Amino acid sequence: MANKSKPKPRKLSVYLYVPNLIGYTRILLNCYAFAICFSSKRLFSALYFLSFVCDAVDGWCARKLNQASTFGAVLDMVTDRISTACLLVILSQVYSPSLVFLSLLALDISSHWLQMYSTFVAGKASHKDVKDSSSWLFKFYYGNRMFLGFCCVACEVLYITLFLLADKQNENLKDVLMSTLKQGSALSCLVGLSLFGWSIKQVVNVIQMKTAADVCVFYDMEKKQ
C-alpha cells in the first residue's frame, strides 16, 4: 500500500491558526491601550496586561492544537518586543533619568533580535533551544517554564506599576522606588518581588546577547574555513 503523505497546510490556513488569531488580537489590544495610555491609565494597564496574558494563551494553543508555526513565533516575538518598547518609551518620558529605560529598550531588542537570528543560523527550530549554552542560568531560564514565566510577568508588572505610580512628568525613578519599598505594604512586596524577577531577566538578556553574538561569529569562522 502506498504511503500517503500528509497534506501541506495552505498559506491562508497558517494565517488563520488559532494562536495567530490570538496574536492579531494582541496587536489590536495594544494599539487601543497605547492610544488611551495617558487619558485612562488604569484601563491601559488592564488592556496591556491582558495582551500579555494572551501571549501565554497563544503558546498553549499552539502546543495543544499542533499549530506551531515559524510565522507565529516571529509574530509573537515582534509583538512582545514592540509592546515592551512602547511602554519603555512612555516610562522614559515620565521618569528621570530617561536613559535607564532607553537602555533597557536597546538591550531587550538587541538581545532578542540576535537570539532569533542566531537560531536560524544554527538551524534550530526554536529560539528557546539553548541546551548547548555554557550558562546554567540561561539554560534554566528557557528550560523551566515556571521560572521563565515568573521573570517575564515580574518585568511587565514592574513597568506597569511604575507607570501607575507616576503622578507627574519627570518623576525621579530612584525616589519613587525607594518610597514605595519603604511603605511596608502589599504594593511594596509586589514591587520588591517584581524587581527580583526583572533583575534576573536583564542578566539573562545580557547573556543571551553575548551567546547569540558568539553563534554568529562561529558561523562566520566556519564559512571561511
Catalogue the active-site residues.
80
**C-alpha grid cell, residue 69:** 508555526
Q: How far apart are CA 113 and CA 116, in angstroms?
A: 5
Q: Quick check: 60 and 11 in contact, CB under 8 A?
A: no
Q: Locate all alpha helices (DSSP H) within the chain, ordered by sequence.
A: 11-15, 18-35, 41-64, 70-94, 99-121, 136-143, 145-165, 173-181, 186-224
Q: Is 98 within 8 Å of 174 (Cβ atoms)?
A: no
- Cβ-contact 129, 73 below 8 angstroms: no
Compute how many other C-beta atoms are within 10 angstroms of the C-beta atom of residue 136: 9
DSSP symbol at 223? H
